[in-house]
A and B are shown apart, each in its own frame.
Chain A
Amino acid sequence: MSGYQDKIKETAERLLKEGSVEMVVGFRKGTLPMMNEPCFIRRPEDVRQLVWDSNCGINLANYLTDRKEKIAIVAKGCDSRNIVTHIVENKIKREKLHVIGVPCQGMVDKRKVAAACGGDIEAVTEDGDVLSVTAGGAVQTLSRMEMLQENCALCAHRNPVIYDELVGELVAEQTGIDRFAEVRRVEALSPQEKWRYFEDLLAPCVRCYACRNACPLCYCPTCFVEESRPQWVGKGQNPIDIRTFHFLRAYHCAGRCTDCGACERACPMGIKVRQLTSKLNKDVLDMFGWEAGLTLDQRPPLDTYKPNDPNDFIK
């Protein structure tokens, strides 16, 4: 993947020098192991900051919302699908974008690595499938593939859907993956078990809204949780209000979610918020044969009406 990094820098430098974009949105090296920071570059001499490795899990499409500049953006498969969704939903114009596509091989889950190594991780380096982790002065090696974010391990669209150029050869898409095994497991629980499951899942939530804010889909100027007239949901730590927030957030993403995993990655409390959106992704696929962000030619099923809609209530 270091080849990608050189190509990203080269491309960014060329685009900025020729003046075809005003800024490049990508990642720079973070201050902590396994953390890269989204950044923008405006001057060709600053492109050296740009990096690419397995720690670029934040969804960069989130940084495009309502921007007016001509922007080049580094986009892996899921980012590109959210870019498509943004274009379809009029949050950004295609002609304002230069998409630098990155065929993706999955992002590392820093919590998995921390759990596998224990303690305070001092440094992590990667070489192919080998992650070398320094913790407590000792070096351990892990398999990168085993440390992937769950959504990446289940991803069926690693290659960018739209791009103006690519930083490497397209990668083979994963096949034979059971994306919804976990959803089916929860679906099969009894109502009481389900209640307990969701109670337990959401109990640590502090309503910091990192999950919502990390998501490119959540761009409403005032979110329903913040409305006060009418007030849809209480603002305190009442568990019913917390669950209301989560269920509604998930429903607002139905048919739009690309399973990029940014929400789950952002949560400071380690809550598997994708459990909710995955269920809706599965339903939307079952009911409408739809996966979000694969085409510019069609709107998501839940914001369109067709006379042959299978449901009676809408006719």
Chain B
Amino acid sequence: MKVITIDKKDWASGLEKTKSAFQVFGPVKEKEWHSFKALGPGEQPDMAYNNTRLSPKFLVEPQTDPMFTYSLDEAKEGHHILKEVRKDIAPKAVVGIRPCDAAAFLLVKRNFDTPQYQDPYWLEAYNSMTFIGLACNAPCSTCFCTSAGGGPFNETGLDVLLVDVGDSFVAKSLTDKGDKWLSAGGWASATDASGKVEALKQAAETKITSNVRTDNLKTRPTTQLYDAPFWEDAAFSCINCGTCTYSCPTCWCFDIQDEVRGTSGIRMRNWDSCMFPMFTLHGSGHNPRSVKVQRVRQRFMHKLKYYVEKYDDGIQCVGCGRCIRLCPVNIDIRKVCNQMNDYDPAACVCPA
């Protein structure tokens, strides 16, 4: 676990060197917002960015991910047999990822890597990544990572944490993968600036003003929360789009589809969302979550109750605030989480 100080003058040249050992991804501004892109020779990430519009989960779980191809042409050898689509598992470095987004991969891993099942697509992609985090000196007004078990300088899920201390980055390696990436950059350590980190960290934490209460979620009886009277009011404005779940780094649901053109077919998986009515539509025509309020409740109950109970390690949310910023009708998970946490039927006298 080494800590080095990288002079910003040396940053670009070192990053260029890492590209011979890693495919490098970083935040790049396109039109009004940032997203993670593969950086070609000479391309640099924008390390002054706030956060990306969509989360970087697509790097590991692409929105459309081909799994198999097949041919229906009986004249061809191997027709009707699924052929696995090979994935690119060469080492990749995701530079500038925010601590919340890196921590999110660990939450999602619980779903894709269980003792019973290991999802090869997700795991191979995830294992090929080295996460070079960038601490948040200036969190947004919608950030609440400190209420979600993280923090603007959180190291969980990262291989390296970079802190921007002005003229340099203080780089702390956290894993062997992180050591490898730092060596690939070949940075000579500049004057040690690690002393500045603690003050920046505290300043960043005090900038986070959204406090979300989660302490009672685990002990509140599930059926009480499920039957709570506030759902109709909370769900009314929702238009059941995919914005919150697609932008969320911790939402993992997908749907498998076959698409055939002529005689060649492809089996892929696409992101899916619990907010869509089709999500739970059975072959029989029955839909157990046929109305909106059930779907909205499901999203919040999953993140803030079922997950909490199942894994006993906090909520299924890292507090990145994307769903809050992007929801077209301003449904705010902070508000709903507090409502759930504070709900006590014995104390409640009103219908909403």
Contact = CB atoms under 8 A, between A and B. Distances in A.
Chains A and B belong together in one complex: yes
Interface of A: 30-32, 35-40, 58, 62-63, 111, 114-115, 119-120, 122, 204, 206-210, 212-214, 222, 226, 234-238, 265-270
7 contacts: A31-B330, A32-B142, A39-B237, A58-B237, A114-B32, A208-B242, A236-B268
B247 interface: yes
A270 B330 contact: no
A237 B64 contact: yes
Contact of A40 (B54, B236, B242): B236
A41 to B, nearest CB: 10
Contacts of A32: 142, 324-325, 330, 332
Interface of B: 31-33, 50, 53-54, 63-64, 140-142, 233, 236-237, 239-243, 246-247, 255, 257, 259, 268, 270, 273, 276, 278, 324-326, 328-332, 334-335
A72 B329 CA distance: 20
Contacts of A235: 255, 257, 259, 270
Contact of B329 (A37, A234, A238): A37
A39 B141 CA distance: 24
Nearest to A208: B242
From DSSP, what is the main secondary structure of chain B's interface residues?
loop
Given A31-B332, A39-B237, A206 B246 contact: yes
Contact of B233 (A39, A114, A212): A39
A122 B242 contact: no
Given A122-B141, A210-B239, A234-B259, 17 more contacts: A30-B330, A30-B332, A31-B332, A32-B142, A39-B237, A120-B140, A206-B242, A207-B242, A208-B241, A208-B243, A209-B241, A209-B242, A212-B241, A236-B63, A268-B53, A268-B328, A270-B31
A207 B245 CA distance: 12
Given A111-B32, A236-B64, A265 B237 contact: no
Nearest to A227: B278
Given A38-B237, A39-B233, A236 B259 contact: yes
Interface centre among B63, B142, B242 (most CB of A within 10 A): B242
Contacts of B247: 268
A237 B329 contact: no
Interface centre among A213, A226, A236, A267 (most CB of B within 10 A): A236
A31 B324 CA distance: 9
B329 to A, nearest CB: 6
A265 B328 contact: yes
Contacts of A208: 241-243, 246, 273
A267 B278 CA distance: 21
B146 to A, nearest CB: 17
A234 B64 CA distance: 11
Contact of B236 (A63, A122, A212, A213): A63
Contacts of A119: 50
Given A236-B270, A237-B270, A213 B239 contact: yes
Contact of B239 (A111, A238, A266): A266
Contacts of B255: 235
A-B complex: 3 closest residue pairs judged by Cβ atoms: A266-B328, A208-B242, A236-B64
A66 B140 CA distance: 39
Contacts of B63: 206, 236-237
B240 A213 contact: yes
Given A111-B32, A236-B257, A236-B268, A266 B331 contact: no
B270 A268 contact: no
A31 B334 contact: yes
Contacts of B324: 31-32
A297 to B, nearest CB: 30
A39 B233 CA distance: 7
